[in-house]
Structure 1
Amino acid sequence: MKKRDASAKKKAGLSRLMELAGAKKKKLIFACFLSVLSSAARMVPFFTIYEVIKELLVYYTLPSSMNIETIYKMVFITFGAALIYGICAFSSSVLAHGSAYDIIYELRVQIINKLGRIPSGFFTGTTQGAIKKVISDDVEQIEVFVGHHVIDIAAAIATPLFTLIYLFIIDWRLAFVTLIPIFVSLFLLSSGLKNPKGAQTQKDMHDTKEKMEGTIVEYIHGMPVIKIFNRTLSAFHQFEENISAYVNTVEHTAYHFASRMGAYYAFFGAQLLFLLPVGLVISITASSYMDFLPILLMFFLIGGGLKEPMENMMNMVIHSGKITEGVARIDGILNQPELENTGNRNPSTYDIVFEHVSFSYNKNVQAIKDISFVVKEGTINGLVGPSGGGKSTLAQLLLRFYEPQQGSVKIGGVDIRDISPEKLTDIISYVFQDSFLFRGTIENNIRMGNEKADFKEVEKAAKNANIHDVIMSLPQGYSTVVGEKDVYLSGGEKQRIAIARVFLKDTPIVILDEATAYADAENESKIQQAFARLAENKTILIIAHRIKSIEKGNKILVLDKGGLKGFGDHKELLEQCHVYCHMVDANERRHCWTMRKGVI
């Protein structure tokens, strides 16, 4: 089998959707087949009615001479067709819905797993609302399309096709007249959909909705600020602007398609308008008026009945544009580059080495500039510097949230790009400045550090983090669900649970990102005690703003404007590093400030 050319055009739209369906494709095909059978059975009554009308017209002067067996035969055929229609339609719907639910489940799992494999820097430039729209709205839209519209499309194509073939056999002239309004409608619709402006309006609708939902999430998060300053919705200008932009885009799309859609619907239901005059003209020249009249009546019945399946098909074509855009946005996540895993090496020691590392978030601003240093295994190291100096970026490079554009980061002499992402997470733990707890039990929140740990190990980790007594005071202890029944934890208590996770994970390298920033004096003291236990025999990197918290560390790295300005212990930096001296002086002065009325 030949290897697929990398330059080959990737699938998009419905073909890509079928590709995403994977093993469920066969079920969908069978569901479509059953839908076609049901639509064929649905058309049978029109033909049986035609046969009955023809029989009635032939013997309308002598009803007693009618062939009753023919009438009964048509009745039984109609009943059988109705039964086949019900069974096939139900089975088709069950198969399609089952496939749809399986597809959206697998898609969501695939997207979530993908989000766990791509660099965490992706989330910095992407709003929560945009990701929520893809995982929730776009995937849900696929469920509606697969569960309902795919089988409807199959029926909408098959029903007119079978019907028109039959009509052309009966009378090609009337069949052609029946098609005229359909051809006109299709031309009007396709001219709008193929128009570049029409395609752009669909994309704009997705873009503005994505921005709006991202801003909604931001607005909800910012609600305390809005309320505390007694501001209204208009205070959050971005929210208002994005909602207005979405409304304007929807209106623009509606106006763009208004004239075409109006003409489309006007012509689409106009079969009888064309059939009536043409039928009257043909009836005058017909060889047998009694033979032609049933045919004309049947065209009136079936010609008008073509509107519904054809309209369904056109609506599906219109809806497929939304599906195409939704699938493209799902692929936008699934096609994100993953962390490269060029090897499967495991370091035997845990010293950290940065060699001429440079990194920038964009072309104009370099966050890290040619930084080199060595952090010895088993030491406590501080990372300080003014805001925006590159401290968090440095830690995130070590975690492979981002990849350096130049240089290398090594652990135990092994480039972290040669360590599998799974192994890297087994080596490094990270305590964030603002710890996040999932809506679940306290035990499960701690157990995230090690899912295989037993309860005694969870309890021991909590005790080491100085949070055990707080947990035991909660209504259900370790089984208490965070956020339910007015059970809430303070920032310092959440931080200690995050530290308990790290104790349970027991990694050789730990990064602490200003972990006491939001803690009060009591919580800070308990957190510092937990840090002391945590630091035993581990390589510790502490991002700090309070010099006092790291001045007794083995080494301190001083960053400013992306560059390494100093590296040494507290005493050495006081003698050699101007930036560090300035920070120490500022930290000492902030403990001495006072507020006095009337001072300018």
Structure 2
Amino acid sequence: MKKMPKAPKRKQGLSRLFELAGGKRKKLVFACFLAVLSSAARIVPFFTIYGVVQELLAHYTLATEVDGGRIVLLAGVTFGAALIYGICAYFSSAISHTAAYDIIYELRIQLMGKLARISSGYFTGTTQGAIKKIISDDAEQLEAFIAHHICDIAAAIATPVFTLLYLFGMDWRLTLVTLLPICISLCLLSACLKQPDKAALQVELHDSQERMQGTIVEYIHGMSVVKVFNRSLSAFRRYENDLNAFADIVSRTAHANAKPIGAYYAFFGAQLMFLLPAALVLLPTAKSYLDFLPVILLFFLVGGGLKEPMENMMQMVIMSNRIVEGVNRIDNILMQPELGENGTGNPQTYDITFENVSFSYGQDLQAVSEVSFSVPQGSVVGLVGPSGGGKSTLAQLLLRFYEPQAGSIKIGGVDIREIPPNRLMNLVSCVFQDSVLFHDTVERNIRMGNTQASREEVEQAAKNAGIHDVIQALPNGYQTVVGDSNAYLSGGEKQRIAIARIFLKDSPIVILDEATAYADADNESKIQAAFAALSKNKTVLMIAHRLKTVENSTCILVLEKGRLVGSGTHSELLRDCELYKNLVDANERRDRWSIRQGGVSV
């Protein structure tokens, strides 16, 4: 039996980071090459100084015999090396920074695009703070790492390699002595980094930081509720607890690494402690003190100087471990399954069919359970029922915010999973209970429905939604930026701008999820009249708690605890559905409800 080929193993860590760099990898490689050249040029003066000292000691008894030409040549080489170092270091930094900015820009665009293509269920189990940390903080760390540290790693590796190669040519015995403390320190660091508990601490560190970020975002967004219920202290205490937890994991990480890192640093800077006794042992065996003395001086000078580039390299290794976890978190988003993009379905009609659809948010109680119904093209169907009955869930399933776990949803006989998401979004428009306006002009907020629309069409859509006069009264009319210059809109006004988007989009299927919830009585009647015009030749699914808004619907569907318990016209349901009759009675009592001194009148 022929074996199936193994799926290629996904890259991780720095190799994955270079993969994410895409077309900018060549720039990074070239920047690293320049960094290596600069590091090579940086160590040249040590060897030119050795040449000068050697020349001076060779003729210390007769200064007139010193080769002045050689001294001048060595000085020129030193100047040229310094010039090469400066030029290469500058262009290496410039190229790496440019590449880093481009990579992070493209990565953030990729992340934002990905978030728009994955199921909304991902956001249910992930806090805003965690997503903000990944897109902002983790990406920012990657930018700093790419712009600075990748080239630093290349230079930090190249400098000791070039130096040690030269030193081996000078005296292999002293070179091995120079390497001894470095090897010991590297073994200590490697043993520390490879311990599973150290990797677990890094994961815990990121988790704790995400929780802290999430609490901050939640605290700011809920500030009005916190103040109204006088819970400032307890809400702040949550942040304080998360902050203390983060400080605790940082402290535990530091203590866990204290001994091995301390030993690492103790050996790392001990070259002179090893070189001095070695030099004293080897000095009597030297053929000439005058030849051996410059060599010892060079090893003292350069051997001790190895500490800085090697320390830089080790710091980069430690930092790369943090970057690896950040890359993993970014990949956690990029590897999320997307809604199918390969569908070729293209409905020619716009009737809607739910066939035995079931869906759960992960709880024992299903939000929707074996729901089946049809919405003929051009009809207006109302969805009613107690809160938590599954009405909004059905709308979100139709929009493919979630995938049904059983059954199918069809538009024009085509399963929506076979319809490309962009095509599906062109077919369906929706106004939810809570409308979102972006920090942009009112016109651009409305234009989200159709970016190619003319100004006249934008204004007509606003008039149809009953918001045109309100917009005209804003400081800069349609060019007013929402939230700026005291341009604040009420909840009902925001809702009507969202409804204007629907008019402008003019899609054949419209979902209205409590679209008139925030409108006052006057504007509600205007919006209802606009809906009547909007619904012509369109398939409309209207979710409502105010039953009067759906009384004249072609059909009304009654949902309770995720199940369809009744369907029919208003009069048919009053006769045949006890739950619908109770809902109507409750609505009538609510309309008669009023407050009077000393009690409530119903």
Conservation of the 8 A alpha-carbon contact between 1:342 and 1:417: no
Query: In structure 1, what is the equivalent of residue 535 of structure 2?
Result: 535
Q: TM-score, normalised by structure 1?
A: 0.96
Alpha-carbon separation, structure 1, partners of 2:256 and 2:519: 56
Amino acid paired to 1:117 = R
SS in 2 for 1:366: coil
Query: In structure 1, what is the equivalent of residue 235 of structure 2?
Result: 235
Alpha-carbon separation, structure 1, partners of 2:325 and 2:401: 29
- Alpha-carbon shift at residue 223 of structure 1 (Å): 0.7
- Alpha-carbon shift at residue 276 of structure 1 (Å): 1.6
Amino acid paired to 2:415 = D
* Bigger mean CA offset, 6-15 vs 158-167: 6-15
Conservation of the 8 A alpha-carbon contact between 1:233 and 1:240: no
Query: In structure 2, what is the equivalent of residue 453 of structure 1?
Result: 453
Conservation of the 8 A alpha-carbon contact between 1:492 and 1:524: no
Query: In structure 2, what is the equivalent of residue 314 of structure 1?
Result: 314
- Alpha-carbon shift at residue 188 of structure 1 (Å): 1.5
Alpha-carbon separation, structure 2, partners of 1:44 and 1:387: 77
Query: In structure 2, what is the equivalent of residue 133 of structure 1?
Result: 133
Query: In structure 2, what is the equivalent of residue 214 of structure 1?
Result: 214
Q: Deviations over 1:475-500 (max 9, x none)?
A: 21111111112211111111111111
Q: Deviations over 1:61-109 (max 9, x none)?
A: 3222211111111100000000111111111111111111111111111
Conservation of the 8 A alpha-carbon contact between 1:234 and 1:240: no
How do 1:256-405 and structure 2 match up within 5 A?
Answer: 256-362=256-362, 364-405=364-405
Alpha-carbon separation, structure 2, partners of 1:443 and 1:48: 69
SS in 1 for 2:377: coil
- Alpha-carbon shift at residue 598 of structure 1 (Å): 6.7
Instruction: Among all aligned residue pairs of Structure 1 and Structure 2, give the percentage whose two residues are the same amino acid.
Output: 65
Query: In structure 1, what is the equivalent of residue 89 of structure 2?
Result: 89
Query: In structure 2, what is the equivalent of residue 592 of structure 1?
Result: 592
- Alpha-carbon shift at residue 136 of structure 1 (Å): 1.1
Conservation of the 8 A alpha-carbon contact between 2:360 and 2:405: yes
Alpha-carbon separation, structure 2, partners of 1:228 and 1:72: 80
Q: TM-score, normalised by structure 2?
A: 0.96
- Alpha-carbon shift at residue 214 of structure 1 (Å): 1.6
How do 1:512-527 and structure 2 match up within 5 A?
Answer: 512-527=512-527
Query: In structure 1, what is the equivalent of residue 498 of structure 2?
Result: 498
Does residue 80 (structure 1) correspond to residue 84 (structure 2)? The answer is no
SS in 2 for 1:161: helix
Q: Deviations over 1:184-215 (max 9, x none)?
A: 21112111110000001111111111121122
Does residue 550 (structure 1) correspond to residue 540 (structure 2)? The answer is no
User: Is there any run of 5+ residues in structure 2 with no aligned partner, and where?
Assistant: none
Distance change in 2, residues 1:144/1:348 (3 Å): same
Distance change in 2, residues 1:441/1:352 (3 Å): same
* Bigger mean CA offset, 40-49 vs 84-93: 84-93
- Alpha-carbon shift at residue 114 of structure 1 (Å): 1.3
Alpha-carbon separation, structure 1, partners of 2:27 and 2:105: 16
Amino acid paired to 2:117 = R
* Bigger mean CA offset, 544-553 vs 299-308: 544-553
SS in 1 for 2:284: helix
* Bigger mean CA offset, 487-496 vs 222-231: 222-231
- Alpha-carbon shift at residue 316 of structure 1 (Å): 0.8
- Alpha-carbon shift at residue 280 of structure 1 (Å): 2.1
Amino acid paired to 2:167 = L
Amino acid paired to 1:559 = L
Query: In structure 2, what is the equivalent of residue 563 of structure 1?
Result: 563
Conservation of the 8 A alpha-carbon contact between 2:464 and 2:527: no
Query: In structure 2, what is the equivalent of residue 102 of structure 1?
Result: 102
Alpha-carbon separation, structure 1, partners of 2:595 and 2:561: 32
- Alpha-carbon shift at residue 547 of structure 1 (Å): 1.4
Query: In structure 2, what is the equivalent of residue 7 of structure 1?
Result: 7
- Alpha-carbon shift at residue 510 of structure 1 (Å): 0.6
SS in 1 for 2:301: helix
- Alpha-carbon shift at residue 281 of structure 1 (Å): 2.3
Alpha-carbon separation, structure 1, partners of 2:204 and 2:19: 26
Distance change in 2, residues 1:268/1:234 (3 Å): farther
Alpha-carbon separation, structure 2, partners of 1:206 and 1:119: 24
Conservation of the 8 A alpha-carbon contact between 1:104 and 1:142: yes
SS in 1 for 2:199: helix
SS in 2 for 1:487: coil
Alpha-carbon separation, structure 2, partners of 1:114 and 1:377: 33
- Alpha-carbon shift at residue 284 of structure 1 (Å): 3.3
Moved over 6 A (4+): 596-600
Does residue 410 (structure 1) correspond to residue 396 (structure 2)? The answer is no
Query: In structure 2, what is the equivalent of residue 440 of structure 1?
Result: 440
- Alpha-carbon shift at residue 5 of structure 1 (Å): 4.4
Query: In structure 2, what is the equivalent of residue 152 of structure 1?
Result: 152
Count of matched residue positions in the alignment of Structure 1 and Structure 2: 598
Distance change in 2, residues 1:235/1:43 (3 Å): same
Conservation of the 8 A alpha-carbon contact between 1:358 and 1:368: yes
- Alpha-carbon shift at residue 574 of structure 1 (Å): 1.5
Alpha-carbon separation, structure 2, partners of 1:485 and 1:435: 21
Q: Deviations over 1:543-562 (max 9, x none)?
A: 11111221221111111111
Alpha-carbon separation, structure 1, partners of 2:361 and 2:57: 82
Alpha-carbon separation, structure 1, partners of 2:493 and 2:536: 22
- Alpha-carbon shift at residue 393 of structure 1 (Å): 0.8
Distance change in 2, residues 1:542/1:236 (3 Å): farther
Conservation of the 8 A alpha-carbon contact between 1:493 and 1:523: no
Amino acid paired to 2:414 = V
Alpha-carbon separation, structure 1, partners of 2:340 and 2:571: 41
- Alpha-carbon shift at residue 506 of structure 1 (Å): 0.1
Query: In structure 1, what is the equivalent of residue 205 of structure 2?
Result: 205
Query: In structure 1, what is the equivalent of residue 23 of structure 2?
Result: 23
Alpha-carbon separation, structure 2, partners of 1:419 and 1:255: 55
Distance change in 2, residues 1:597/1:237 (3 Å): farther
Alpha-carbon separation, structure 1, partners of 2:4 and 2:128: 35
SS in 2 for 1:437: coil
* Bigger mean CA offset, 313-322 vs 571-580: 571-580
SS in 1 for 2:137: helix
